[in-house]
Amino acid sequence: MKLKKSLAMAPAAIFAPILAHAQEAPVAEGAFASVEALGALNVEMVFIFNTLLFLLGGILVFWMAAGFTMLEAGFVRSKNVTIQLSKNVGLFAIAAVLYYLIGFNLMYPGEGWLVDGWLGTPGPAVLEAVGITAAGAVDVGYASVGSDFFFQLMFCATTASIVSGTLAERIRLNAFFVFVVVLTALVYPVQASWTWGGGFLDAAGFSDFAGSTIVHSVGGWAALVGALVLGPRIGKYGADGKVNPIPGSNLALATLGMFILWMGWFGFNGASQLAMGTISDVADVSRIFANTNAAAAAGALAALILTQMLFGKADLTLMLNGALGGLVAITAEPLTPGLGMATLIGAIGGGIVVFAVPLLDRLRIDDVVGAVPVHLFAGIWGTLAVVLTNDGASIGAQLYGIVVIGGFVVITTGITWLAIKAVMGLRVAPEAEVSGLDKTELGMDAYPEFTRG
Amino acid sequence: MKFIIAAIKPFKLEEVREALTAIGVRGLMVTEIKGFGAQSGHTEIYRGAEYAVNYVPKVKLEIAVSDGLADQVAETLQRVARTGKIGDGKVFVLDLEQALRVRTGEAGDDAL
């Protein structure tokens, strides 16, 4: 009872000062008694709230870079931690620079397509001038270009960070960075433009709200192809299909990383509503936050239960992957499901991960952190699950998008990985791999007081 | 002088230390080790893959004692560290040729 009353008064309390300045909205007598009589926010306020959503969302998605970094640092052995940290710092920096130089305009060409619906125009991103008024805004009905650029840049960086986990402990630092350049400058922006940039996949009805395919499957495909070209770590697989576990060095960091990613995902999904200036939009953002959380929890719970059933004991590392799998699964449609459906979608995402991790090992594909099950497999599931709750989507269009984007990424990243392998070499020498990349690639231990010798 | 090396179950360490200091041992060294003997390891599962844990954690004690105390120390160690189950450990008694106290330079039994 108390809550209902205060919620009803809150909009009145907020709108009162705004209405004092609004020129258009008529204020009827006794307006505060009736929410319906209050007008909508004027154009400037909508622009501000939308921009705010992007800025805050962008900060949260940026924070996911710390999440991936900690997750990976915890999953690798201590002799490879420094290089993993370096890869994550470097890939973010490269993504940021290249998204500014080429990616943003490739992804959002607006009217300036080179090949309509297929290929945008590369060129540096340009923000609006300092101190614009409403008249100076590029799209006054949307948000500031700066906030749009800032927010979307983080998604590009997220895609690149997915790849670094799978390929840990045996890839050369600069070979990896060369790949990141290609991924963030070309592969990611071009395929993203097909949907989010208003390209041909969008026209075909493909629906991917925040990027189960466009970000997560893309990263997953790139990681999978990389793992196939790179090969497994020395000692990971024995004769007769034996799988040798290589336990991570710091499960506390890995868990911290998972929680950071979970938190960042509220921005990843929530701000993908792309608007917060109306009751409808902000209520939608609220739904997205709640659904995102439900899916993550369900994924972790599914992994907790399944690992106990399958292996006799709960496996923390698979619970971490399970939560992330749930998050990836809800990412394609975090708005339309109810909480129950979001929970189910997340649980299935988590379950897929628990089965996929040992499956990859049986196929002798060495994925150090489980990124392929989490981002690719759960990403495909999440993209298909859109049709369960979104009437505007069709299974045909979803499959079309999954296959087209998958094919594009497999081919382009396959060529890139093979080219890098041929020109500069992908893998460190076996002796270097056994000594640890921190020593051989960087000459810098992550835990100098705790390593031998 | 004798040098006694013992491998015992970790949870027995405090009990053994108290018993040894009660009979006159004034110093000992402790290291955490892994080993196997009759007590074999077990299997664990990590991310769905089984692996054998061949080594069991133990605690190693190293004690330098005078000849007169050696038998009593060895017997006390064995009696107190015993649980009756496999994996209780071993006690080894070696001849110790020389010992020096670093602070004073004292040698022999005076160093112990």
Say which CATH number the domain at A160 has: 1.10.3430.10
pLDDT band at A36 (very low <50, low <70, confident <90, very high): low
More confident residue, A12 or A340: A340
pLDDT number for residue A5: 34
> Can you tell me the mean pLDDT for A118-123?
94
Q: Do A357 and B46 touch (CB under 8 A)?
A: no
User: Is residue A3 scored above 50 in pLDDT?
Assistant: no
Mark whether A129 and A194 lie in a shared domain. Answer: yes
Taking CA atoms, what residue in A is nearest to B45? A311
Residue A47 lies in a domain: no
Q: Which domains does chain B have, with CATH numbers?
A: 2-111 (3.30.70.120)
Distance of residue A166 Cα from the nearest chain B Cα, in angstroms:
15
Mark whether A286 and A343 lie in a shared domain. Answer: yes
Mark whether A109 and A152 lie in a shared domain. Answer: yes
Mark whether A229 and A185 lie in a shared domain. Answer: yes
Mark whether A85 and A22 lie in a shared domain. Answer: no
Q: How many A-B residue pairs are in contact by the CB < 8 A criterion? A: 34
Contacts of A313 in chain B (CB under 8 A): 45
Taking CA atoms, what residue in A is nearest to B52? A244
Which has the minimum average pLDDT: A30-34, A74-78, A233-237?
Answer: A30-34
- What mean pLDDT value characterizes chain A? 92
Which has the minimum average pLDDT: A203-207, A434-438, A444-448?
Answer: A444-448
More confident residue, A450 or A425: A425
Residue A267 lies in a domain: yes
Q: Do B45 and A313 touch (CB under 8 A)?
A: yes
Residues 6+ apart with CB under 8 A from A350: A298, A299, A300, A301, A302, A303, A306, A321, A322, A323, A325, A326, A329, A378
pLDDT band at A29 (very low <50, low <70, confident <90, very high): low
Residue A182 lies in a domain: yes
Q: What is the ipTM of this complex?
A: 0.81
State the distance between the two ends of chain B, measured CA to CA, in whole angstroms.
9
Closest CA to A216 of A50, A87, A58, A328: A328
Residue A230 lies in a domain: yes
Closest CA to B92 of B69, B61, B68: B61
Q: What pLDDT digit, counting tens, does each position of B64-100 carry?
A: 999 999 999 999 999 999 999 999 999 999 999 999 9
What's the CA gap between A269 and A328, in Å, rounded? 10
pLDDT band at A452 (very low <50, low <70, confident <90, very high): low
What's the CA gap between A375 and A371, in Å, rounded? 6
What's the CA gap between A355 and A370, in Å, rounded? 11
> Can you tell me the mean pLDDT for A116-135?
94
Mutation site, B43, B47, B50, B53, interface A, largest A CB count within 10 A: B47
Residues 6+ apart with CB under 8 A from A30: none
Burial of A20 (0-12, 13-18, 19+ CB in 10 A): exposed
Taking CA atoms, what residue in B is nearest to A320? B47
Mark whether A269 and A185 lie in a shared domain. Answer: yes
Distance of residue A311 Cα from the nearest chain B Cα, in angstroms:
7
Residue A45 lies in a domain: no
Q: What pLDDT digit, counting tens, does each position of A267-326 carry?
A: 999 999 999 999 999 999 999 999 999 999 999 999 999 999 999 999 999 999 999 999
What's the CA gap between A399 and A401, in Å, rounded? 5
DSSP state of B16: H
Mark whether A361 and A338 lie in a shared domain. Answer: yes
Contacts of B51 in chain A (CB under 8 A): 244-245
If interface means Cβ-Cβ distance under 8 Å, which residues of chain A face chain B?
243-245, 247, 310-313, 315, 317-318, 354, 357-358, 361, 370
Whole-Å CA distances, B109 to A379, B4, B24, B63, B99: 72, 15, 13, 13, 8
Contacts of A354 in chain B (CB under 8 A): 48
Portion of chain A with pLDDT greater than 70, in percent: 91
Q: Do A318 and B49 touch (CB under 8 A)?
A: no
Which residue range(s) make up the domain with A33? Answer: 2-37
Q: What pLDDT digit, counting tens, does each position of B17-52 carry?
A: 999 999 999 999 999 999 998 887 788 999 999 988
Contacts of A244 in chain B (CB under 8 A): 49, 51
Q: Do B48 and A244 touch (CB under 8 A)?
A: no
pLDDT number for residue A441: 93
Q: Do A361 and B49 touch (CB under 8 A)?
A: yes
Mark whether A235 and A112 lie in a shared domain. Answer: yes
pLDDT number for residue B52: 87
Taking CA atoms, what residue in A is nearest to B48? A358
Contacts of A306 in chain B (CB under 8 A): none
Q: Do A358 and B48 touch (CB under 8 A)?
A: yes
User: Is residue A25 scored above 60 in pLDDT?
Assistant: no
If interface means Cβ-Cβ distance under 8 Å, which residues of chain B face chain A?
44-51
Mark whether A146 and A19 lie in a shared domain. Answer: no
Residue indicated by tokens 């370096």: A86
pLDDT number for residue A378: 98
With beta carbons less than 8 A apart as the criterion, state whether A385 and A325 touch. no
Q: What pLDDT digit, counting tens, does each position of A163-207 carry?
A: 999 999 999 999 999 999 999 999 999 999 999 999 999 999 999
Residue A42 lies in a domain: no
Mark whether A16 and A79 lie in a shared domain. Answer: no
* Total number of domains constituting chain A: 2
Contacts of A358 in chain B (CB under 8 A): 47-49
What's the CA gap between B12 and A277, in Å, rounded? 67
More confident residue, A12 or A218: A218
pLDDT band at A4 (very low <50, low <70, confident <90, very high): very low
Mark whether A137 and A238 lie in a shared domain. Answer: yes
Contacts of B54 in chain A (CB under 8 A): none
With beta carbons less than 8 A apart as the criterion, state whether A205 and A398 touch. no
Residues 6+ apart with CB under 8 A from A358: A243, B47, B48, B49
pLDDT number for residue A26: 52
Residue A431 lies in a domain: yes
Q: Which residues pair with B61 in a beta bridge?
A: B6, B30
Mark whether A21 and A88 lie in a shared domain. Answer: no
Q: What pLDDT digit, counting tens, does each position of A365-395 carry?
A: 999 999 999 999 999 999 999 999 999 999 9
Q: Do A361 and B47 touch (CB under 8 A)?
A: yes
pTM: 0.87
State the distance between the two ends of chain A, measured CA to CA, in whole angstroms.
67
Q: Which two structure tokens, joined as six digits, stand for A22?
A: 């609004």
Distance of residue B44 Cα from the nearest chain A Cα, in angstroms:
9
pLDDT number for residue A34: 58
User: Is residue A32 scored above 70 in pLDDT?
Assistant: no
